[in-house]
Amino acid sequence: MTLETETSPLRTSVDAGYDKRLMVAAGRASQELGRKIAERLGVSLVDPGLKTFSNGEVYCRYGDSIRGADLFIIQSTCGVPGLTPNDALMELLCMVDAAVGASAHRVIAVTPWYGYSRQDKKSAPREPITARLVAKCLEEVGADRLLTMDLHAGQVQGFFSKPVDHMTAMPALAQYVTDQLGDPGELCIISPDAGRVKLTRKFAQKIGTEYALLEKERPAQQVAEIGYVIGEDKVKGRIAVIVDDMIDTGGTLAAGAQTVMDAGAREVFAVATHGIFSGGAFDTLTASPLEGIVVTDTIPLRDGAPSMIRVLSCADILADSVRRIFTDDSVSEIFAGENQLF
């Protein structure tokens, strides 16, 4: 005896044209970037139904069925008006948990800016390794994969047992420098510290110029003391470009820019993937010798930014990465295998 209803007969076979679905949702910290990625993929953003109760708790309920879909959740764990970085992280965890509970086929956390990434090791007794804690939270709540950009340190990938796809904005930033700042022979790429030398060397190679290094000490968190330029002869009379993964308070960058100018640079610019610009960063950078700063939109640029700051979109890179993950194609081919910069 076959059980069926007049309006909804039971189906015992899969439709010949069945294919898995690609769906994209964005948290409140990455609404604009999520919209750009969805547009490039030719899909509409799924409404995650996010809101904050009067007591500060986060709520999420997807407005559409996501059963069986590959859901990509776009959310940088950064602060924006109305949300702290901790709020953004909790919101991301709620979105992942809701998707897992709604039977999504795969849930991929797309965190262009991976918050807490600087706390990647114990530099003093009794400290947590908070970058690892965030990884544990994402995996425990059910994320199947992480897609991110320009991690502060490569070892953060090792905190995950699930796949991590690491993208980089450095080729796009290098192309911008080539297009906008002229003859490579007039440029010198500057590493802000010893930890960025490998990245800076590759950046300089892409442009076809030389690089130098700033000697720096960090006596406390968010405090840096710039000593001198290693390779000062390469800087004199040239346009210097300081390359870093992030700009936070701007103090280190401003001090580095002054050191480079004192070493004889003609002009100094800066490029970075993540523009955090916390505290009084805008005032600090405006008062510095910097002629211009270029960042990407992994973190929304807050109001009041000076005109010297230009934002490039990383939506094309992320959209291509999402498409390749969805179709099980190679992600590293986007960068010819050169997306590991550490």
Query: Which DSSP letter does residue 174 get?
Result: H
C-alpha 72/C-alpha 83 separation (Å) is 21
Structure tokens given for 21:
């679905």
- Find the catalytic residue in 36, 202, 216, 234: 216
The answer to whether the beta carbons of residues 108 and 147 sit under 8 Å apart is: yes
C-alpha 306/C-alpha 292 separation (Å) is 10
C-alpha 300/C-alpha 76 separation (Å) is 9
The answer to whether the beta carbons of residues 34 and 11 sit under 8 Å apart is: no
C-alpha 26/C-alpha 180 separation (Å) is 32
C-alpha 337/C-alpha 329 separation (Å) is 13
C-alpha 53/C-alpha 248 separation (Å) is 30
Query: Which DSSP letter does residue 53 get?
Result: -
C-alpha 123/C-alpha 140 separation (Å) is 26
Q: What angle do CA 182, 183, 187 make, to 5 degrees?
A: 90
Active site residue 20: no
Residues involved in catalysis: 216
